Structure 1
Amino acid sequence: MCNLYGVRDQAERAWKVAVGSTGPHAVPYAEMIADGASDYGGVFIEVLLEDGLVVAVAWVHAEGRSTFALVGGLTRDDADFVTVCTDGWRRLWSGRALLAEADGPLRARLLEAGFSEAATVRSYHWSPPGARETTRPARFLDWLHDDGPLWDRFYTDFNFKPGTTCRPAITDPSPSAVWNLHSHHRLAPDLPAELDAIVRRGLLAATEPGELVCWPDWQHDGYRYDPRRTDSPGRPPRPGKGTYPNGDYYLHLTHDLRLGTFGHPWELALTVWGPTLLAAVEAELTDLLGEPVRHRH
C-alpha cells in the first residue's frame, strides 16, 4: 500500500532541500518559481535518496516549446548524482539543447558528464539601499492557479462569448463605457501608445498600493503586474502587449474583476468598467476617441 503521507513528506523535504541550498545556482529554485515557472509541468526535478530520504535535489526548467532546457541548479556536486541527472535529462529532452551555468567542482562534474563549455558568464549583483522587496513586480499567470480560474470567472461574470462574429462579446458591466476604435486606428498611428498611456495612468489612480493588475491574453500566456513597480526608471517594463486589441482580446483587470478594460479585436471597441477607473479615464478617452458608443450606469 502506498503511504500517501510519506509521499507528501518527501515532496516537502525536496522543496526544503532545494530552497535551502545556497548554491551558487544559475536560477535558485524559489526564484525560478517566483518568476512564474510552473512546478506543475514546466520545472522538472531529480532527487537523491539516502536511507529513503531526500538528501539532494536538481532542477531543470523547460518552458513550452522552447528549443532548450535550463539546468537551474544542483544541491550537491557528487559525480554519480550529476551523471545520473544528466543522463535522465538527455533522455527526457533528446531534441533540446541542455544548458547549465556552473563553476568550481560542479563545472568539472558537468564537463565529465558530457557537457561542453560554450561561453564564460559573468554575473553582477545589484544591492540597492532600503528594504528588500519580497515579491516580483511582474510574473506569468500560472494557468492552474491564476490564468485558468481567472478566465473561468470572466466567462461567467461577463457572459464572455469569444468569436469573430460575437459583437459585443461581453455583457457590459455596470458602470461601464464603450468607445469605438474602428474609425481611429488607420488615421492615428500613435493611437495604441496614447490609449495605453491613458489606461496606465487610470490604473495607477484606481488601484490600491500593492494591488496587482492581471493582463490575461486569450489562448496565450498572461501576466500579473504591479502598476507602481513597472514602467518607471530602474523598473522592468509592464508585461503584456498593451491595451489596443491588436488581433486578440486584450484585458487589464483586477483579480476581483471590480474594474478593468476589455479590448475587442473584431468589433474594434474598448470597454472600461469600474467607477474609480471610469472616473480616472473617461474624459481623456472621450477627448481621444469621441463620445462612448455605449454607456451603462
Structure 2
Amino acid sequence: MHDLYRVRDQAGRTLEIAVASPGPHATPYAEMIADGSSDEGDVLIEVLLEDGVVVAVAWAHVDEGPFTLVGGLTDDEADFVKACTDHWRLQNLLGQPLLAEAEGPLRESLLEAGFTEVTTVRSYHWRPPGTPEHTRPAQFLDWLHDDGPLWDRFSADFDFKPSTTYRPAITEPVPSAVWHLHAHHRPVQDVPGRIDAIVRRGLLTATEPGELVYWLDWQHDGYRYDPRRTDVPGRPPRPGLGTYPNGDYYLHLTDDLRLGTFGHPWEQTLTVWGPALLAAVEPELTELLGEPVRRRT
C-alpha cells in the first residue's frame, strides 16, 4: 500500500497536470478545479504518491444536500478506495453520510470499504446540437499564479493603496464617478443585489461580444467570465461574490483596464470608470444611491 498524502489548495490545483482522470466521475477532476473548487472547505482532495509522483487522485464534495458526494477516484484499487473513504469519514464534521455512484471494480471496492448499496440509477447525458464551444463561460483564477499580474497592473495604473484607513484607495481615473453605498435616505430592499444587477447590465452594454470580464477579490482567488454566457438559461451563474464590497475590495474590470468597478469596503463606496460603463450605469446608480460623492471628468 502506498502512502496517502493530504494536499492543500495550492498544490491540489496543479494535480491535473500529473494525473489522468478517465472517469466516469460526477465531475471530471480538471473541470472541478477549473470551476473553482479547492481544498479550502468545499471539496476534500486525496492523492496517492509513488516515488514522489502523483499516481491517483480522489475527491469528495461537502455540503451536497444531506450527503458528502464522492466526486471521483482515478484508481479503483481496494486499498486506495478504503484509505480515501476512511479519511473522509474522519473529516466529516457535518456528520453527512458518504454517497457514491459506481459500477464494475470501483463498485466492488466501495462495498469492501463499507458502503451499502441502496438503489440503482440510470444516467442520461445531454449533448446539445451544434459545435461545442472551445472556451469555458467562466474560469477560476488562482490568486498567486493567475490573476497576480492583473493586480500588479491595476496597482500600478491606479496607485492602489490597500488599507483600512487610507482613503481613497485608488487614484480614480478619468472619467469616473464614486457613489457612497449608504447615501440613500429612504428604505431600499436588497441594495447589494440591486447594485449588482445594475452593474451586470452595464457590463453587457459596455463590453464587446466575446470579451471577458475579471472579478477580483483582494488577496483571494478570482474569476474571469463571459458576461454573455453566464447568468442566462442553460448557463452557469456569474462567478464571484458580486459588486458590493462585503469585507474586502471587489472589482469588475476588463483586461485592458479601460472600464470597471471598484468597491471599497471601509470607505463604503463604489467607483465606476470608463465612458461606456459609466454612461450605462450612472442613471440607475444615482437613482438608487443619490448623487456621486466624487467625480472626475
- Give the gaps of 5 or more residues in structure 2: 1-13
CA distance in 1, matches of 2:238, 2:125: 22
Structure 2 match to 1:82: 78
CA distance in 2, matches of 1:250, 1:274: 17
Distance 1:42 1:174, change over 3 A: farther
Task: Report the residue type matching 2:229 in the other structure.
Answer: R
Q: Shift of residue 89 of structure 1? A: 6.7
Q: Shift of residue 125 of structure 1? A: 2.4
Q: Shift of residue 273 of structure 1? A: 1.2
Can you list the C-alpha shifts for 1:197-221, whole angstroms capped at 9, x where unaligned?
A: 2211111122222222222233544
Give the 5 Å matches for 1:183-262.
183-184=183-184, 187-262=187-262
Can you list the C-alpha shifts for 1:210-242, whole angstroms capped at 9, x where unaligned?
A: 222222233544333221011222223222332
Distance 1:287 1:186, change over 3 A: closer
Helix, strand or coil at the partner of 2:144? helix
- Asked if the contact 1:60–1:69 (Cα under 8 Å) also holds between the matched residues in 2, the reply is no
Task: Report the residue type matching 1:111 in the other structure.
Answer: L
Q: Shift of residue 262 of structure 1? A: 0.9
Q: Shift of residue 272 of structure 1? A: 0.7
Task: Report the residue type matching 2:192 in the other structure.
Answer: P
Structure 1 match to 2:10: none
Structure 2 match to 1:60: 59
Q: Give the number of the structure whose residues are more often helix, by fraction.
A: 1
- Which deviates more, 98-107 or 225-234? 98-107
Q: Shift of residue 151 of structure 1? A: 3.5
Helix, strand or coil at the partner of 1:60? strand
- Asked if the contact 1:26–1:102 (Cα under 8 Å) also holds between the matched residues in 2, the reply is no
Distance 1:234 1:111, change over 3 A: same
Give the 5 Å matches for 1:1-297.
15=17, 18-19=20-21, 21=22, 23-37=23-37, 43-46=45-48, 57-60=56-59, 71-77=70-76, 81-84=77-80, 86-87=82-83, 90=86, 94-96=90-92, 100-117=100-117, 123-184=123-184, 187-297=187-297
Helix, strand or coil at the partner of 1:286? helix
Distance 1:151 1:61, change over 3 A: farther
User: Identity rate of aligned residues, in percent?
Assistant: 69
CA distance in 2, matches of 1:254, 1:119: 48
Helix, strand or coil at the partner of 2:145? helix
Task: Report the residue type matching 1:172 in the other structure.
Answer: E
Helix, strand or coil at the partner of 1:295? strand
Distance 1:246 1:119, change over 3 A: farther
Distance 1:62 1:161, change over 3 A: farther
Backbone CA RMSD of aligned residues: 3.9
- Asked if the contact 2:48–2:57 (Cα under 8 Å) also holds between the matched residues in 1, the reply is yes
Can you list the C-alpha shifts for 1:1-38, whole angstroms capped at 9, x where unaligned?
A: xxxxxxxxxxx9x858615x2x2223223322332346
CA distance in 2, matches of 1:30, 1:140: 11
Distance 1:62 1:180, change over 3 A: same
Task: Report the residue type matching 2:112 in the other structure.
Answer: E
- Give the gaps of 5 or more residues in structure 1: 1-11
Task: Report the residue type matching 1:95 in the other structure.
Answer: Q
What TM-score, normalized by structure 1, do the two folds share?
0.73
In the alignment of these two chains, the number of paired residues is 275
Distance 1:127 1:286, change over 3 A: same
Distance 1:122 1:269, change over 3 A: farther
CA distance in 1, matches of 2:155, 2:120: 49
Distance 1:118 1:252, change over 3 A: farther
Task: Report the residue type matching 1:206 in the other structure.
Answer: A
- Which deviates more, 231-240 or 87-96? 87-96
CA distance in 1, matches of 2:182, 2:263: 12
Q: Shift of residue 58 of structure 1? A: 3.6
